[in-house]
Amino acid sequence: MFRCGRRITQLIIRKSRTTSAGYLKLNYARKQLSSNEYKAIPQLNALSLRLYSESKVETKVADYDEVVKAISNNNILLIDVREPDEVKDHGHIPNSINIPLGTISTVLGEMSDKEFNKTYKRPKPNQNTELIFYCMAGRRSAKAQESAINLGFKNTKNYQGSWTEWASKGK
């Protein structure tokens, strides 16, 4: 029983790292178990697990008009989290920098001020700098916002309309 419980815990931890919104059905764990392991824990039939973070963070949203104003405000950092090829193919919002989603935590959390300035030609943001994230449709930018919040940034927004809305408005 302990061995099986340990295996379920390992499955839950592994799956929770890749599950967005913190939801995890134990059915996933059940499918990964051998039939003997599954029979040893019949409670898996009815169980679902929701993982909670320690603190609930209110996420803010930026609209099109805020982004237009942010373009000319050097105190606000617009961050495009799409891949460089997407930016090259579709374009970008003026005065924004491209930090792909997969590197956002490393760049904002670990990159030195000097290296950030050299790479992006902008000062590295501090914990109070206003950051507005965008992507193609608003999903990846929401993940980037969550990463920034987890790194301690206090003034983050997600431009939900993202590039799709920006391009449709003809800017």
The pLDDT assigned to 83 comes to 97
Higher model confidence: residue 168 or residue 39?
168
Residue in 157, 149, 154 with CA at minimum distance from that of residue 67: 157
Tokens of 40: 């040893």
- Neighbouring CB atoms inside 10 A of 5's CB total 12
CB 79 within 8 Å of CB 133:
yes
The pLDDT assigned to 59 comes to 85
Least confident interval from 44-48, 125-129, 156-160: 44-48
Q: Which helix (H) or strand (E) holds 157?
A: strand 156-159
Mean pLDDT of 97-109: 97
- The CATH T-level fold of domain 60-168 is Oxidized Rhodanese; domain 1 (3.40.250)
- Which of 81, 135, 144, 148 is catalytic? The answer is 135
- Catalytic annotation on 4? no
Going by pLDDT thresholds of 50, 70 and 90, the confidence category of residue 170 is: confident
Q: Where are the domains of the chain?
A: 2-50, 60-168
Average pLDDT value for the chain: 79
* Predicted confidence (pLDDT) at residue 110 exceeds the cutoff of 50: yes
Mean pLDDT of 9-17: 46
